[in-house]
Amino acid sequence: MHRFHYAGADLHCESVDLAAIARLYGTPTYVYSAGTMADNYRRLLAAFGALDVRICYAAKANSNLAVLRHFANLGAGFDLVSGGEIRRVLAAGANVETSVFAGVGKTEDEIALALENGIHAFHVESEPELARINHVAGKRGVAAPVAFRINPDVDALTHAKITTGKSDSKFGIPLRQAVAAYEAAAKLKHIRLRGVQMHIGSQLTAAAPFAAAVEKLLPLVARLQADHGIEYFSIGGGLGIVYEDALASGAADWWESRPEDRRPLTPEAYGAALGPLLEPLGLKILLEPGRFLTGNAGVLLTRVEHLKRGAGRNFLVVDAAMNDLVRPAMYGSHHECVPLHRDSSRRALVADIVGPVCETGDCFGRDRRLQEVGEGELLAFMSAGAYGFAMAGRYNSRPLPAEVLVQGSAFEQVNARETFEQMTAGEKIPAFLQ
Ligand code: LLP
């Protein structure tokens, strides 16, 4: 469910006409629905019933300060992966005391920053990393709270680039080494064992891999609870969203209208599969969703530059490109493309939707079917709220796009389009070239 819908012929985000946003702030522009994010947050929490659950929003999915503040206001902690993300949470006016710090290559400075700000725990990926955390905590005369990330060696059945729970990935420590790792860690003076963590991949569309991984880890978790008094089990993120039928999936009755074998994983089914496995532990459970909370809460607005009729192919050239939304080029992922103004009297058009960047890979979709549209008309790429702006770059010297947050009938630009001066601010011509 999400709050993007046509009111009459015009696509709205909550109560706001998206064309009005495009006119005010130009394109390409990301637009997010605060209401959808709140719905997703509450729905996921409710799916675990009475279980003691904390949602640590994976900031990497969308780390705009306004988005972080919104989740902090809702009661979320954060799953953070860099000093930059820690600083973003602080800049958003939130604290990191309910947040966790993950990642395979934390630097000494990042570890110190996390300790200084009272991080809830470090999610540790290796023994050398643990030694570094112990060292930095020792210099500050404190004990660092930690949880090991355990790799359960389970196939998440998702895209190869975002599967993380198999033993050949760089993530976590193998299950069979876990007990020894905790025992060694317990002997370190500046380490305090606080939890255990897993994360098997992203955009999972079935509950079975999550359940298999949790089941594999349960005996270990119970043992760590008994031997080391750990307080929590984080089961990571990974809950997938709808990309193919994104616009229609906003309707309340969409899920039931789908054939049974084509219904995506819901938070309720995720909670129902995992809740009963986790409940007997009596531990606090952490969830680290990114995509589920923000993915379908965002669109990327773009304007048509030209309809280019090629040899046997049509190319709809738009003003957004792979630098703004890299997922199609990087993962071959699908983002539904819809017109902001719907006109059923128009003929259909089948075209490749492409950006202006000088690579054939700069393509949002091949042979897409939509109503005929011409120069200057506006389109939206759906499901772009997660890993959209967060992965944007400046390739072809294209500035970072603008971002707007909507709540009800209110909206504000929460990130201005980058200027040329900002883009080049750190660059200079060296003296030897002048
Ligand atoms: N926890 C950990 C330790 C993670 O590595 C990730 C994502 C998450 C939580 C959040 O996963 P989510 O709930 O969003 O699936 N750029 C890719 C996705 C990369 C995910 C990386 N890790 C994409 O656009 O599909």
Residues 49 and 148 in one domain: yes
Q: Which is the closest atom of ligand 1 to the Cα of 236?
A: 1
How confident is the model over 178-188, as a mean pLDDT?
98
> How far apart, in whole angstroms, are the C-alpha atoms of residue 178 and residue 347?
61
Given the residues 13, 56, 337, 358, the one annotated as active site: 358
178 within domain boundaries: yes
**Confidence at residue 403, expressed as pLDDT on a 0 to 100 scale:** 99
Sheet holding 10-13, edge to edge: 4-7, 10-13, 16-17
Q: Which is the closest atom of ligand 1 to the Cα of 197?
A: 3
262 within domain boundaries: yes
- Residue 78's pLDDT band, with cuts at 50, 70 and 90, is very high
**Does ligand 1 lie within 6 Å of residue 403's CB atom?**
no
Residues 173 and 91 in one domain: yes
Look at residue 264 and tell me whether its pLDDT is greater than 90: no
**Confidence at residue 199, expressed as pLDDT on a 0 to 100 scale:** 97
Q: How far is the CA of 334 from the centre of ligand 1 (A)?
A: 17
**Does ligand 1 lie within 6 Å of residue 291's CB atom?**
yes
How confident is the model over 144-158, as a mean pLDDT?
92
13 is catalytic: no
Share of the chain above pLDDT 70, in %: 100
Q: How far is the CA of 342 from the centre of ligand 1 (A)?
A: 34
How confident is the model over 279-302, as a mean pLDDT?
98
Number of domains in the chain: 2
**Confidence at residue 423, expressed as pLDDT on a 0 to 100 scale:** 98
**Does ligand 1 lie within 6 Å of residue 292's CB atom?**
yes
401 within domain boundaries: yes
28 within domain boundaries: no
**Confidence at residue 157, expressed as pLDDT on a 0 to 100 scale:** 79
**Confidence at residue 310, expressed as pLDDT on a 0 to 100 scale:** 82
**Does ligand 1 lie within 6 Å of residue 57's CB atom?**
no
Using one digit for the tens of pLDDT, what is the confidence trace for 352-386?
A: 999 999 999 999 999 999 999 999 999 999 999 99
419 within domain boundaries: yes
**Confidence at residue 431, expressed as pLDDT on a 0 to 100 scale:** 98
Residues 300 and 253 in one domain: no
**CA 102 vs CA 81, 120, 254: distances in Å:** 5, 11, 36
The closest residue, in CA terms, to atom 6 on ligand 1 is 237
**Confidence at residue 263, expressed as pLDDT on a 0 to 100 scale:** 85
The tokens for 119 are 């991080």
**Confidence at residue 163, expressed as pLDDT on a 0 to 100 scale:** 75
Residues 284 and 308 in one domain: no
Higher pLDDT, 166 or 118: 118
**Domain of residue 142, CATH code:** 3.20.20.10
Last residue of a domain, one of 253, 274, 291: 291
Last residue of a domain, one of 291, 324, 344: 291
> 369-385 burial by CB neighbour count: b if 16+ within 10 A, else e?
ebbebeeebbbbbbbbb
Look at residue 156 and tell me whether its pLDDT is greater than 90: no
**Domain of residue 311, CATH code:** 2.40.37.10
- Residue 271's pLDDT band, with cuts at 50, 70 and 90, is very high
Q: For residue 221, which phi and psi values (nearest 5 degrees)?
A: -60, -45
CA proximity to 30, closest of 420, 417, 419: 417
> How far apart, in whole angstroms, are the C-alpha atoms of residue 432 and residue 434?
6
Q: How far is the CA of 26 from the centre of ligand 1 (A)?
A: 30
Q: How far is the CA of 192 from the centre of ligand 1 (A)?
A: 26
Question: Which range (106-115, 157-166, 169-178) has the least confidence?
Answer: 157-166
- Residue 288's pLDDT band, with cuts at 50, 70 and 90, is very high
26 within domain boundaries: no
The closest residue, in CA terms, to atom 16 on ligand 1 is 387
191, exposed or middle or buried, with CB in 10 Å at 0-12, 13-18, 19+? buried
Residues 202 and 72 in one domain: yes
- Residue 102's pLDDT band, with cuts at 50, 70 and 90, is very high
**Confidence at residue 162, expressed as pLDDT on a 0 to 100 scale:** 77
**Non-local CB neighbours of 149 within 8 Å, separated by 6+ positions:** 102, 123, 124, 125, 171, 172, 173, 197, 198, 199
Residues 41 and 157 in one domain: yes
**Confidence at residue 262, expressed as pLDDT on a 0 to 100 scale:** 83
Q: How far is the CA of 237 from the centre of ligand 1 (A)?
A: 7
Among 169, 205, 291, which is best to mutate for testing ligand 1, by the most ligand atoms less than 8 A from CB? 291
Q: For residue 193, which phi and psi values (nearest 5 degrees)?
A: -75, 125
Using one digit for the tens of pLDDT, what is the confidence trace for 24-63?
A: 999 999 999 999 999 999 999 999 999 999 999 999 999 9
433 within domain boundaries: no
Residues 74 and 89 in one domain: yes
**Does ligand 1 lie within 6 Å of residue 79's CB atom?**
yes
Residues 279 and 333 in one domain: no
Beta bridge partners of residue 101, listed in sequence order? 80, 122
For residue 327, what are the domain limits? 296-423
Residues 245 and 148 in one domain: yes
Last residue of a domain, one of 291, 314, 342: 291
Look at residue 166 and tell me whether its pLDDT is greater than 80: no
Residues 54 and 163 in one domain: yes
**Confidence at residue 215, expressed as pLDDT on a 0 to 100 scale:** 98
Our measurement of the distance from residue 179's CA atom to the centroid of its chain's CA atoms, rounded to an integer in Å, reads 31
Look at residue 13 and tell me whether its pLDDT is greater than 90: yes
311 within domain boundaries: yes
Residues 114 and 170 in one domain: yes
What's the mean per-residue pLDDT of the chain? 96
pTM of the model as a whole: 0.97
Residues 412 and 280 in one domain: no
The closest residue, in CA terms, to atom 8 on ligand 1 is 237
